[in-house]
Structure 1
Amino acid sequence: MKVLKFGGTSVGSVENIKKVIAILQQQSETSKIAVVVSAVGGITDKLIEAGELACNKNPDYVVKYNKIWSIHNEIIEELFKNIEDDETVLELQTELVENIGTKLNELRSLLNGIYLINELSPKTKDKLLSYGEYCSSTIISYILKALRIDAALKNTQELIITDSVFNNARVIFEQTNKNIKSYFKNQKQTITLLPGFVSKSTNGETTTLGRGGSDYTASIIAAAINAKEVQIWTDVSGMFTTNPKLVKQASPISELSYQEAIELSHFGAKVLYPPTVMPVLRKNIPIVIKNTMKPEAIGTKITSTKKSNGISPVTGISNIDGIALLTLQGNGMVGIPGFSKRLFETLAQEKINIILITQASSEHSICFGISESDAIRAKEAIDTVFEFEIALQRLEPILSETDLSIIAVVGDNMKSHQGISGKMFSTLGKNNVNIRAIAQGASERNISAVIHKNDVKKALNSLHEQFFEIKTKQLNLFITGVGNVGERLIQQINQQNAYLKKNFKINLRVVGLSNSRKMVVDEDGIDLKNWKSHLNNGETASLNEFFNHAKNLNLRNSVFIDITANTEVAYIYPKYLKESISVVACNKIACSGDIHYYNQLKELSRRYNASFLFETNVGAGLPIIDTLNHLVTSGDEINSIQAVLSGSLNFIFNNFNNNTSFFEIVKQAQAEGYTEPDPRIDLSGIDVARKILILARESGYQMELDDIESNYFLTEEAMKSNTVEAFFETLKQDEGYYQKLYEDAKSKEYQLKFVAEFANGKANVGLRQIPEGHPFYNLEGKDNIVMFYTKRYPEQPLIVKGAGAGADVTASGLFADIIRIANN
């Protein structure tokens, strides 16, 4: 014989009830079955609401009651609609309507009584809630009879006997088991319908087994009759590796041990009511969790032993919300016995359940987690019990923290694997998830941590990625500045994403996009094929609101990417880093601004374990900063740096001659995207000065931009121009001056290059005449070149050379920084 339990969602609609009936027909073909049903989905909540309204003298309880009445009657009407009418069916329908009507009239009288006496006691609440299960089981039993299916209805209150602790009664198993065995011994029908959740005290009063008690009912019956298995039919395909509502990659667990099921259900896996396991565990009866909407799905099987999944020693990750953490501490506790006894006795007397306990070996403090709803009552009771010690300052008043959650990593095989807790806590730390308390049993089957409730989603996703996704790492990108370079970066991400997933287990998702006018954020990732339309239809852009979106989403492995030249954007980096959101900057302002700000960003990056990368600040996509960092971290010392660092200036001077005007070449460089939109930034030399300053700082020198000696080649009128248009006019007017620069170099067979130099703690930039044979002489097009003279490369420098300007190579440099973060 099997015992099947169907939850509220499974009997929550006519369509679902039909699916339940199909399952019962199929399973009853091979054996007898006992079927435990919950109240129709949502009815239990409506009963509670109606009772509370009546208790509060709110006449709207009648509205709730009417809704309960109409839901049941509509279900009856719809179910009988599709059954071929005959005299028996009509009689059954009439009888059912009268039966349910009588029960609901009793319910109405009970609510009226609650309204009149203005009280809803635990005893009355149990009686109130019992109507939900009674109605659903009665309806299904009559439908089965109308379909000529051999079925009987048995009131569970005649079988399960409990004490008189209302709302969560304790089963008296000796009498209960005797009742169940006696009934089923003589039961002839193929299907027996039983209301779940409800029971009766030894005094004959209605009691309940707690919310979720229908699972427990099924388990109690199965254990009593030595059933072949218990099937828990619900709206999900088994227990999942973690909460699928918070982690999209969560997957069903095919097998669990009883102990794992207990741990997961205790720590928030709501598919299974925690006490359910105990009765069947003793008899070694399997529990199978199935999906009513997808009966073909394998589901989860819970037994005494299970096979390893071969992927991870961790079986599942669960969470409990609404936790308060209370701490009793003080020097007066050290070495004094009895404090724990008094503390826990106090909580027991208040009927407060302890979810988690941890105590420091110094005995200076005891920390425990309870339901947030019990926090105030617990604090008042404990402070009262320890009033004397608190008055003498031997103890501090109990400290209570709320808005917390517990996450738990569970698995039978964790004990035989080293480093599980290390992986768990390092993963949380990398994602800036602060741990308030930790608990781990000697069995090592469960490692629990208390965290802030806002970090739960990020924590579950991070841990699931670590333990279940075969090292696939997801990065969530927030990009501001989607002009020429930004557009190319998005194209590259869209183009390479499948390749990265397949070959490097990296999943890049663009979650936020912003330009100076509009911004769009989508937690599920923006469709990169239509990102422009999404952005155009987005909300008004705001730097602070864009940051707030990134902060509030609190996604794991988040990265902010700045592809602007905006000062305001550059000074928002600390906000991101403090939230452990990495920063990738194309913008040079932050790293070449005030030295204290540069150092602050470096420190924040270290403190909050968030990368701060800016490879494209120097040389676009060339690995110049990366190469320099490798030299320094490996112990090499920088003697000097010589470089051509402006792809735009190199392009200009490689193409400028006596057959073209300087104005025309600068215009061409601007049109082809080699210069900034404002070419004065490039031609003034300030951009190159910023770059050599960044290289000097990365070499370990504390320098400011004012320390860079600049030998500008522009005319005084060009330097003073207030607008781009005015600047271009000066280039036309001063063409003779620029031609003279060219002719002077040509006469010596030299090339004009704008060069940056750093040596002995000093740096300068300026236009130089480069002789033939020098490494800079044949530098083509928009190329950059950097020569590092170091302790290891004193005579023949380490040279990095290649394209140093252009949207594609700059975007590829940003892309490389993103991949560095993914590989970190």
Structure 2
Amino acid sequence: MKILKFGGTSVASSQNILLTENIIKKESVKNKVVVIVSALHGVTDGLIKAAEYASVKNESYLSILKELEEKHLQLVKELLPVPEQSSWLSFTKKHFNDIEEIYNGIFVLGELTDRIKDKIASYGEHLSSSIISARLQYEGLDCVWMNSAALIKTDGRFTNAKVNIALTEKNIQEFLKNHKNQVIIGPGFIARDENGNATTLGRGGSDYTASLIAAAIHAEELQIWTDVSGMMTADPRLVSHAKPISEISYHEAMELSHFGAKVLYPPSIQPVMSKNIDLTIKNTFDPEAPGTLVSHHVKVEDKQQLAAGISNMSNIVLLTLEGSGMVGIPGISAKLFQCLNHEKINVILITQGSSEHSITIAINEKERIIAENAINLSFADDINLKRIAPVKIENKLSIVALVGENMKNRSGVSARMFGCLGNNGINIRAIAQGSSERNISIVISENDSKKAVNVLHEEFFESEIKQVHLYLCGTGNVGSKLVQQIYDQNPYLRENLLINLRIAGLSNSRRMIFADKGISREEYDNWAAYGQEASINAFAEEIISRNLRNSVFVDITASSEIPEIYEKLLKRSVNIVACNKIAASSGFEQYKTLKNTARNHSCNFYFETNVGAGLPVIGTINDLIKSGDKIISIEAVLSGTLNFVFNHYDGNKTFSEVVAQTQREGYTEPDPRLDLSGTDVARKILILAREAGYPLQFEEIENISFLPEACMQGSVENFYTKLSEHESHFKSLFTAAQKEGKILKYTAEFKNGKAKVGLQHIAPGNDLFHLYGKDNIVIFKTLRYSEQPLVVKGAGAGAEVTASGVFADIIRSV
């Protein structure tokens, strides 16, 4: 014999009931079946809501009851032929007349007790099971209705009654012994106490009814039919890549359902588990889908997946009782849990430090006030004597649980779990792990719940692809090249590095746009047309509020405003990749603050392209320092722009013409004075000195400028005019070097803790002499590279190479 249970969505309408009917027909051909059904979808909630209205003398309860009555009457008309309808329409009306009388009494008395709640809630299952039974009989099935409420005996704890297992099993066995019908159908959720009063088994109790019947008769299988194809590795509403679980153990299923996997009511597992009966979760709307098998037969050693699933529970409150008066005093815990038990408050999670100084428990938020008052009252004397503090409350929390039999006796599971959460800036408020090792539960902010579940799912179930969310600020020459490189390279990254880059946000000085699932190449071509007005602070707040895992903020601007948001983002564990040199060359204390903030919040702050565009200059310094070397001196040409200018200025063209050519080819900032003034080079040597471990300030760098002061005044147009006017000055610089058989190079030098930048005459034998086009060169002398220096040389400017350097930092950051 098989037991089939159908939930509220499976019987929500006549169309759904016909699907349910087909499943019952198919199963009853091969097996005798007992069918347990829930109330029609939304009916129990409607009945309770109407009762609450009536209790406060709100006559809206009448319209709710009318809607529920019409719903059932319409169901009779749709499921049964006209000759059969009359008796069942009368049956339905009679029950709603009885219901209305009860509600009128609630309205007059202004009182709604748990006993009355159970009485009115029982009507939903009673009506649905009776009408569906009539339909099956009309279809010719050998079907009888079973009043399962009369068979299941409980105590008088209304709304969540405790079942008398021995008496219940005896009643069920006797009924089935006397009824040999091929199909037996009855209501779930409802029962009766020893006095015959209606009781209920808790919301979700229809699963429990079916499980009790299955256990009582040692059924071949219990099937739970719902609106999803079994249990999933995570809530699919939170995790788009959640996967169905084909097989799972009873213990795993119990842990997952207890912590929020609503597809299965936790108490329903125990009866079938005790009798070793297979439980299968199936989808009414996709009956051919395999679903999830819950049983003892799952062989853990055959399961390659470390964890079975991730569940989450929202609306959680942490209550902490603490004080020196608790240390070494027996009975404190017992007293705490007794007072909560007296108020019928369910404790979801418990954690206590070995110092015994505090006990922390998690409960549902709706029970917070009752629990707080009960604990403070119970410990009033200790609180007055300052031995124990009043209970501390933390709200707006969630519990996330990682569950799996295969986690037992496996080292490193907790490290992986806490590591990936920490790397994404998710703060853990409390931790609980039982000695079974099949469940690690954490309490976190409710705002981090979705992010945490996705991070854990990616770590334990999606190791083949890591989703990275990019927020790009700056879509000019370098930015647009970077975007194209991302789109072009993403297939390679997915296949070879198991990384998928999503451009989740874009901003320029005018517009910004966000898309959690990524902006496609087609959308990028016209993104500014439907973006919103840009604001760098609003952009940062949006990144923080979206709170997506593996987030990277990419600054591809020269703005002095944007680095102001770096610290805020780093504190939320958002990785930062900066082409912008402002932050790393700001005051030394601010530079150190950003570096320390990144380290303290388990994220990365990379700015390789600050020096040398795509050349591995900063990375080389970091590798040298990490390996124990020390930088003695740095000699460099650090401006691709200035190198390009002086490589092309030979006296045939004016200096103004060469600078204009350099700008046209994309090798200068929009305002070329930033390059030609030496400020940019000074920032670069400052950054290199700092990365080498020297606390240098920008003001300490000697900058020997070659530009006349007049060239630095006014607009960019005025700058070019002044360059032309001072051509003789630039020609004299060139001629002086030429007379010595040397060339002009704008160099940077760091030595003996001091730095300087300026135009130098370079002889042919110098390492800086043979440097062409826009190339950069950096020459390191270190303790290990003292006689033969370490040289990094290559293209130091250009949108393509700069974008590729930024791209490399992005990959490195995740």
On whether the aligned pair clears a TM of 0.5, the verdict is yes
* Greater CA drift, 387-396 or 63-72: 63-72
Corresponding residue of 1:27: 27
TM-score (norm 2): 0.97
Residues 339-358 of structure 1 mapped to structure 2, 5 A cutoff: 339-358=332-351
The partner residue of 2:178 within 177, 181, 186 is 186
Counterpart-to-counterpart distance in 2, 1:26 and 1:288: 16
Identify the residue that residue 209 of structure 1 maps to in structure 2.
201
Q: Which residue of 1 aligns with 2:154?
A: 162
Question: What is the Cα-based RMSD across aligned positions, in Å?
Answer: 1.6
2:314 equivalent to 1:321: yes
Cα distance, 1:79 vs structure 2: 4.2
| Structure 1 segments unaligned to the other structure (5+ residues) | 81-88
Shift in Å, 1:631: 0.7
Is the CA contact (8 Å cut-off) linking 1:319 and 1:406 kept in structure 2? yes
For 1:699-778, list aligned pairs within 5 A. 699-719=692-712, 721-778=713-770
1:219 corresponds to 2:211: yes
Separation of aligned partners in 2, 1:750 and 1:79: 100
- Conserved? CA contact 2:303–2:406, under 8 Å: no
Structure 1 contact 228–286 (Cα < 8 Å) conserved: yes
Residue of 409, 419, 422 corresponding to 2:402: 409
Mapped to 1, the partners of 2:664 and 2:169 lie a distance apart of 87
Structure-2 residue corresponding to 1:5? 5
Give, in whole Å, the separation in 1 of the partners of 2:44 and 2:319.
32
Contact 1:159 1:180 in 2 (8 A): yes
1:78 deviation in Å? 4.0
**Pairing 1:334-733 to 2, within 5 Å after superposition:** 334-470=327-463, 472-719=465-712, 721-733=713-725
Aligned to 1:674, what secondary structure does the other structure show? Answer: coil
Q: Please name the residue that 1:40 is paired with.
A: 40
Matched, 1:296 2:264: no
Change (3 A) 1:351 1:648: same
Write the distance in 1 (CA, Å) between the matches of 2:22 and 2:670: 69
| Residue 8 (structure 2) pairs with residue 16 (structure 1) | no
> 1:471, CA displacement in angstroms?
5.5
Separation of aligned partners in 1, 2:709 and 2:539: 41
Q: Aligned in 2, Cα 1:214/1:769: closer, same or farther, shift over 3 Å?
A: same
1:792 matched to 2:784? The reply is yes
Please state whether the residue corresponding to 1:591 is helix, strand or coil: coil
In 1: Cα distance, 2:74 partner to 2:774 partner = 76
Give matches, 1:55-66, under 5 Å.
55-66=55-66
Residue-by-residue CA offset, 1:319-343 (whole Å, 9 max, x unaligned): 2212111112111222221212211
With 424-433 and 722-731 compared, the bigger mean Cα shift is at: 424-433
TM-superposed CA distance for 1:541, in Å, is 1.0
State the AA in 1 paired with 2:224. Answer: I
Q: Alpha carbons of 1:497 and 1:195: their partners in 2 closer, same or farther (altered >3 Å)? A: same
- Aligned partners of 1:565 and 1:588 also within 8 Å: yes
Distance of aligned partners of 1:365 and 1:531 in 2 relative to their CA distance in 1, 3 Å threshold: same
Higher mean Cα deviation, 306-315 or 257-266?
A: 306-315
Is residue 637–residue 768 contact of structure 2 (8 Å, CA) maintained in 1? yes
Deviation at 1:596, TM superposition (A): 1.3
Secondary structure of 2:293's aligned partner: strand
Q: Does 1:249 align with 2:241?
A: yes
Code of the residue aligned with 1:349 in structure 2: it is H
> What letter matches 1:468 in structure 2?
F
Aligned length: 813
SS of equivalent residue, structure 1 residue 529: helix
**CA–CA distance in structure 1, aligned partners of residues 791 and 531 of structure 2:** 45
Q: Contact between 2:149 and 2:188, CA under 8 Å: does it hold in 1? A: no
Instruction: Give the drift of 1:310.
Output: 4.0
Q: What is the one-letter code of the residue matched to 1:469? A: E
**Cα distance in 1 for residues equivalent to 2:390 and 2:38:** 44
Cα distance in 2, alignment partners of residues 528 and 609 from structure 1: 31
Instruction: Give secondary structure in 1 for the equivalent of 2:94.
Output: helix
SS in 2 for 1:131: helix
The one-letter code of the counterpart of 1:232 is I
Classify the secondary structure of the residue corresponding to 1:426: helix
Q: Which amino acid aligns with 2:27?
A: Q
Match of 1:69 in 2: 69
Q: Which residue of 105, 113, 117 maps to 1:125?
A: 117
- Counting aligned pairs with the same residue, the percent is 53
CA contact (8 A) 2:155 2:161 kept: yes
Deviation of residue 45 (structure 1)? 1.7
Which stretch has the larger CA shift, 762-771 or 101-110?
101-110
Partner-residue secondary structure (3-state), 1:311: coil
> Is 1:283 the equivalent of 2:292?
no
| Separation in 2, partners of 1:143, 1:667 | 87
Provide the rounded CA distance (Å) in 2 between the counterparts of 1:93 and 1:319.
Answer: 45
Q: Work out the CA distance in 1 between the residues paired with 2:69 and 2:666.
A: 71
CA contact (8 A) 1:311 1:468 kept: no
Whole-angstrom CA distance in 2 between matches of 1:494 and 1:101: 64
| DSSP-derived class of the 1:19 partner | helix
Q: Does the residue aligned with 2:348 lie in a helix, a strand or coil?
A: strand
Q: How many Å apart are 1:801 and its aligned residue?
A: 1.1
Matched, 1:171 2:167: no
Rounded Cα–Cα distance in structure 2 between residues aligned with 1:291 and 1:118: 42
The DSSP-based 3-state class of the residue aligned with 1:28 is helix
Q: Secondary structure at the match of 2:696?
A: coil
1:255 offset after TM fit, Å?
1.0
Task: Give the SS at the match of 1:10.
Answer: helix
1:22-44 deviations in whole A, cap 9, x for unaligned? 21122122111111111112222
Q: Report if aligned partners of 2:575, 2:605 keep a CA contact under 8 Å in 1.
A: yes
Displacement after TM superposition at 1:292 (Å): 1.3
Q: Residue in 2 aligned with 1:312?
A: 305
**1:418-446 deviations in Å (ceiling 9; x for gaps):** 12122222222222221222211111121
Paired with 2:76 and 2:484, the residues of 1 have a C-alpha distance of 57
Deviation of 1:186 after TM superposition, in Å, equals 2.6
What amino acid is aligned across from residue 492 of structure 1 in structure 2?
Q
Q: Which runs of 4+ in 1 moved over 4 A?
A: none
The answer (yes or no) to whether the contact 1:226–1:283 under 8 Å persists in 2 is yes
SS of the residue 1:325 aligns to: strand
> Which whole-Å CA distance do the structure 1 matches of 2:668 and 2:574 have between them?
30
Q: Which runs of 5+ in 2 are unaligned?
A: none
Letter matched to residue 635 of structure 2 = Q
The one-letter amino acid of 2:57's match is K
AA partner of residue 569 (structure 2): Y
How far 1:6 moved relative to its partner? 1.0
Q: Which amino acid aligns with 2:29?
A: E
Measure the CA separation in 1 of the matches of 2:404 and 2:490: 33
1:637-680 CA-partner distances (Å, limit 9, x unpaired): 11111111111111122222233222222122212211111111
Q: Which amino acid aligns with 2:130?
A: T
SS in 2 for 1:216: helix
Asked if the contact 1:255/1:307 (under 8 Å) is kept, the reply is no
